[in-house]
Amino acid sequence: MRAIVITRNGGSDVLQVQQRPSPTLSPGALRIEVRAVGVNFADVMARLGLYADAPPLPSVVGYEVSGLVTEIASNVTDFAIGDRVFAGTRFGGYAEEVCVRQQDAVHLPATLSFEQGAAIQVNCDRGTLEPWITPLRALMDDGTVAPVVSDVVPFERAAEAHQILTERRNIGKVVLVP
């Protein structure tokens, strides 16, 4: 699978699209074919070497994704193959596939695009997320409320996505698409 890798600390030029092995599906997890990835300041700080919790380099960052469920562990009860979801990841989101615990994923309303799903900040598990998203679900389902996406950038231009974010040229969320 393709992933955007921080090869070393530095400017946006250190981001490279590389082939990486697909993640292993653990019990209680689901595999997501990533359709969009949110770009946030934690990603930029990790690239610069200023984020203490970042994985060791070379690494794949990315905290919020949206896409389609392509595989589920036998003990997953809340999702089925083909479900549209958005999910929080603890790194690894800048990739064509991710595996997340079922409690870190939420069904994506049909009225939202994958890009909008990746724009929802999900840096927490579903138990924390659902109290505020459940009351908004009706508004999201009918299209009344939707996240703002300002830029959609292909994986191959990840450096541009980081530049847009750091130069604050955007008024909404910047997302990457495989």
DSSP notation for 103-149: GGEEEPPTTS-HHHHHHS---S-HHHHHHHHHHHHHHHHTTSS---E
Q: pTM of the predicted model, to two decimals?
A: 0.84
The more confident residue out of 48 and 169 is 48
DSSP notation for 6-20: E-SSSSGGGEEEEE-
Closest-CA residue to 62 (of 92, 100, 17):
92
Both structure tokens of 18: 């590389």
Closest-CA residue to 178 (of 46, 17, 11, 7):
17
Segment 83-98 mean pLDDT: 93
CA–chain centroid gap for 144, Å, is: 23
* pLDDT on residue 109: 85
Residue 89 has pLDDT above 50, yes or no: yes
* pLDDT on residue 47: 93
The values of phi and psi at residue 160, to 5°, are: -65, -40
Tokens 């890009």 appear where?
A: 115
Q: What is the distance between the alpha carbons of residues 122 and 31, in angstroms, rounded to a whole number?
A: 17
* pLDDT on residue 116: 85
pLDDT tens digit sequence for 105-146: 888 888 888 988 888 764 444 555 555 555 555 556 665 556
* pLDDT on residue 121: 64
* pLDDT on residue 124: 46
* pLDDT on residue 66: 94
Segment 140-168 mean pLDDT: 70
Tokens 């209680």 appear where?
A: 28
Both structure tokens of 73: 């562990």
pLDDT tens digit sequence for 3-60: 999 999 999 999 999 999 999 999 999 999 999 998 888 888 999 999 988 999 999 9
Q: What is the distance between the alpha carbons of residues 78 and 63, in angstroms, rounded to a whole number?
A: 21
* pLDDT on residue 177: 78
Q: What is the distance between the alpha carbons of residues 7 and 22, in angstroms, rounded to a whole number?
A: 18
